[in-house]
Structure 1
Amino acid sequence: MLPDICPCCSGQPYQQCCAPLHAGAPADSPKALMRSRFAAHAIKDLEYIVRSWASAARADIDREALAQWLSAAEFGQLMVRQAQGDTVEFECWYQQDGLLHHLHDLSHFVQEDGHWRYARSEPPKLKATVVGRNDRCPCGSGKKHKQCCLGAMAAAS
């Protein structure tokens, strides 16, 4: 079942936000492509994720490993830190095996055949966002972090 509100955290209806890109429409910017890739991860759209990679990197994708990883991950919050030119810095949180994971990434994009495509990533040079105990949990539950994943993270360490 597809979501009503887009999982890319834009606050827009999915059908007006990332759904057209998932159906084949070109993204108008690297930021829009990155948001649509996050949404595709959230709804487990493996085909779109693979299609949105640059052709030079697509051959190296281990589809089976990616599919297995997607099946075990639940995506929460996405925060775009900055988008300039062909790069987008973002942070996102996802749960896997009962643990909250944080990804802080600087992604690079290229244009191929009129479409923006994901080319590669590198760690950003800026500090990651710190989630405070009383902040809303980045897993997307709506609870305070201390009443949600913070306790699970402490129990696992």
Structure 2
Amino acid sequence: MSRRSSRPRRPSATSPRAVPAPEVTAASPCPCGRPAPYAECCGRLHAGAPAPTCEALMRSRYAAFVVRDAAYLLRTWHPDHRPDVLDLDPGLRWQGLEILGTTDGSAFHTTGTVTFRAHYLDDGTPGSLHEKSRFVRHEGAWVYESAVFTD
């Protein structure tokens, strides 16, 4: 996939260590778009709290891309589909998340989907990723399983 395509390039290789973007702090608004500080919202999940729904997991995974927490992304990826390592493009800056729809994915379900649009700047060029992600419960926790790109 080219760097200037409509989607960010696929993950491949890097150290799975969290490297927060300098503009996100514990007191910053959460990048996922919810009206709570990062530390009280997705930061809790990044620190190990379980996601109660697949939408909460999806939002926290988006926030993990923003703060460059590759370890969290790998940890919340279904082991049958997870890459060995993750390459987070340093030229990509995530700008906002729109949740377009969800199916199932509550405490009473074992599967769920979240359709969303994530906006980004790729070395200053705007773009968006429109995706329908599928989540499943694995060993009692929500994990990302797969996605269909809708654009």
Give the TM-score band, short-chain normalised.
0.7 to 0.9
Give the deviation of 1:83 after TM superposition: 1.0
State the AA in 1 paired with 2:101.
Q
Find the counterpart in structure 1 of residue 94 from structure 2.
Answer: 75
2:124 matched to 1:98? yes
Note the alpha carbon deviations across 1:23-67, whole angstroms, 9 max, x for none: 111100110000000000001111111111011111xx2625x23
Residues 112 and 62 (structure 1 numbering): CA distance in 2 closer, same or farther, change over 3 Å?
A: closer
- Residue among 42, 48, 69 paired with 1:18: 42
Report how many aligned residue pairs link the two structures.
120
Between Structure 1 and Structure 2, the one with more helix by share is 1
Contact 1:26-1:114 at 8 Å conserved across structures:
no
Larger RCO (alpha carbons 8 Å, 6+ apart) = 2
The 5 Å alignment of 1:129-144 reads none
SS of the counterpart of 1:36?
helix
RMSD: 1.5
Q: Which runs of 4+ in 1 moved over 4 A?
A: none
TM-score by length of 2: 0.74
SS of the counterpart of 1:27?
coil
2:56 matched to 1:37? no
Give the deviation of 1:122 after TM superposition: 0.6
2:144 matched to 1:118? yes
- Residue among 33, 36, 56 paired with 1:9: 33
2:114 matched to 1:88? yes
SS of the counterpart of 2:80?
helix
2:76 matched to 1:52? yes
Listed as ranges, the gaps of 5+ residues in structure 1 are 129-157
TM-score by length of 1: 0.72
Listed as ranges, the gaps of 5+ residues in structure 2 are 1-21, 105-111
Note the alpha carbon deviations across 1:115-139, whole angstroms, 9 max, x for none: 1000000134xxx7xxxxxxxxxxx
The structure with the largest alpha-carbon Rg is: 1
